[in-house]
Amino acid sequence: MADLVKVRLSQARDLNALASNGVAVSPDTSIFVAVRGDEELLGALVVHETAFETEQLGLKSARVVSFRAWRRPEEALPMLVAACREWLVSKGIQFVACRVGVDDKCAVSVLKKHGFEDVETLLTFRRSLSQIGETEDNTAAIDIAVPEDAADCSRIAGNCFSSDRFHRDDKIDHGAAGRLKKTWVENAFRGRADAIFVARNASGETVGFNICLVTDEAAVIDLICVRSDARGQGLARGLVQKAMSYYAGQRHEMRVGTQSTNQASISLYQSCGFQVMSSSKTLHLHLD
Ligand SMILES: CC(C)(COP(=O)(O)OP(=O)(O)OC[C@H]1O[C@@H](n2cnc3c(N)ncnc32)[C@H](O)[C@@H]1OP(=O)(O)O)[C@@H](O)C(=O)NCCC(=O)NCCS
């Protein structure tokens, strides 16, 4: 029976093999591994509880942060999801999100068979910051945020999003999805963001924001929004361009993710010189 595939919770000795297959693990994650009878690792599923979503949505929440098999996926993946689902139920988890590459047809189909539903296709864009010219700087109405901008920005965030995965999931209350975005912005002002840019109208009112984070490789637009009555005037373009100039000497590139259905933001990023680097599907599972 050397070929028997089984799933177990990961043990310390698996960690090197997981790392060499590009599976990042941290202390708060639970890891399931699929192994062959001879202990060869075939794939892994990494999941952790998400306190922010639990608090904001009022649903005990978790996220699958990695779900991959590098050998025999058609056997390994269903076993991994089944074991994880059992674990989620035993923990009383009510809501789970998982993101996988659009080309990973096997993973998508296995997740769907286990009750996950498609909520979005997420496009990740990138743009090099090596050539940011003067002519691209359309940023007269844009400032770096001050703490007093937090209230206006969080109010805008609470009302203006509709394409994100929380609003598009009809099992999630719209009010809760709006509150989540509002708190997201409050947390950015409390220090989670690396930099926040704001757009002001002619009366000096704050009508838009661009929250940026940084990773080792890139500056990332985490959340961008312009109040409905101030759209179509080039403010979002200014917010993106201001961020590009700000990060030009610090990072080689800028990245941003948006839903394939969000035509306004796709056109915005393309008009600022961004190109698609990857696309993934986000799936949600609701457990009773
Ligand atoms: C996306 C968003 C930030 C654009 O803000 P905006 O200030 O209206 O955008 P701008 O006026 O700067 O437009 C810049 C470019 O974006 C594109 N664009 C903006 N709105 C568009 C729309 N409704 N349809 C198509 N393209 C649009 C255009 O290419 C435009 O350039 P053009 O006017 O020369 O054609 C705004 O619609 C918004 O806040 N949406 C809700 C929040 C959201 O979805 N954020 C993105 C999440 S990733």
Task: Tell whether 22 and 154 lie within a shared domain.
Answer: no
- φ/ψ of residue 133, rounded to 5: -90, 165
Tell me the mean pLDDT in the region 35-41: 86
Task: Tell whether 62 and 186 lie within a shared domain.
Answer: no
Taking CA atoms only, the protein residue closest to ligand 1 atom 23 is 264
With respect to residue 121, please indicate whether it lies within any of the assigned structural domains. no
The pLDDT, as a whole number, for residue 134 is: 56
* Helix (H) and strand (E) counts in the chain: 9, 12
Mean pLDDT of the chain: 93
d(CA 267, CA 90): 44
Tell me the mean pLDDT in the region 78-92: 96
pLDDT band at residue 139 under the 50/70/90 scheme: low
Q: Which residue segment(s) compose the domain that 11 sits in?
A: 5-115
Query: How much distance in Å is there from the Cα of 271 to the middle of ligand 1?
Result: 10
The pLDDT, as a whole number, for residue 1 is: 43
Residue 14 has pLDDT above 50, yes or no: yes
Task: Tell whether 134 and 212 lie within a shared domain.
Answer: yes
With respect to residue 72, please indicate whether it lies within any of the assigned structural domains. yes
Q: What's the pLDDT tens digit per position in 108-131? A: 999 999 999 999 999 999 999 998
Percent of the chain with pLDDT over 90: 84
With respect to residue 285, please indicate whether it lies within any of the assigned structural domains. no
Tell me which DSSP letter residue 190 carries.
Answer: I
* CA 38, 40, 43, 46 torsion-angle sign: positive
Taking CA atoms only, the protein residue closest to ligand 1 atom 10 is 234
Task: Tell whether 175 and 269 lie within a shared domain.
Answer: yes
With respect to residue 120, please indicate whether it lies within any of the assigned structural domains. no
Tell me the mean pLDDT in the region 80-88: 96
The pLDDT, as a whole number, for residue 232 is: 95
Query: How much distance in Å is there from the Cα of 138 to the middle of ligand 1?
Result: 15
Query: How much distance in Å is there from the Cα of 265 to the middle of ligand 1?
Result: 5
Token digits of residue 172: 């999630």
Choose among 84, 147, 151: nearest CA to 111.
Answer: 84
Taking CA atoms only, the protein residue closest to ligand 1 atom 15 is 268
Residue 157's SS3 state is: helix
Percent of the chain with pLDDT over 70: 97
Q: What's the pLDDT tens digit per position in 192-239? A: 999 999 999 989 999 999 999 999 999 999 999 999 999 999 999 999
β-sheet with 253-259: strand ranges across: 5-9, 30-36, 41-49, 61-69, 95-101, 275-286, 117-128, 253-259, 218-226, 206-214, 195-200, 142-144
With respect to residue 284, please indicate whether it lies within any of the assigned structural domains. no
Residue 276's SS3 state is: strand
With respect to residue 86, please indicate whether it lies within any of the assigned structural domains. yes
The pLDDT, as a whole number, for residue 276 is: 98
Q: Is 89 left (phi over 0), alpha (psi -120 to 50) or beta?
A: alpha
Contacts of 285 by beta carbon, 8 Å cutoff, 6+ apart: 85, 88, 95, 96, 97, 98, 111, 114, 115, 116, 117
Measured torsion, CA atoms of residues 150, 153, 156, 157, in degrees rounded to the nearest 10: -90
pLDDT band at residue 133 under the 50/70/90 scheme: low
Ligand 1 site: residues with CB under 6 angstroms? 160-161, 163, 224-226, 231-237, 258, 262-265, 267-268, 271
pLDDT band at residue 135 under the 50/70/90 scheme: very low
Query: How much distance in Å is there from the Cα of 231 to the middle of ligand 1?
Result: 7
Query: How much distance in Å is there from the Cα of 156 to the middle of ligand 1?
Result: 15
**Contact yes or no for 75/5 (Cβ under 8 A):** yes
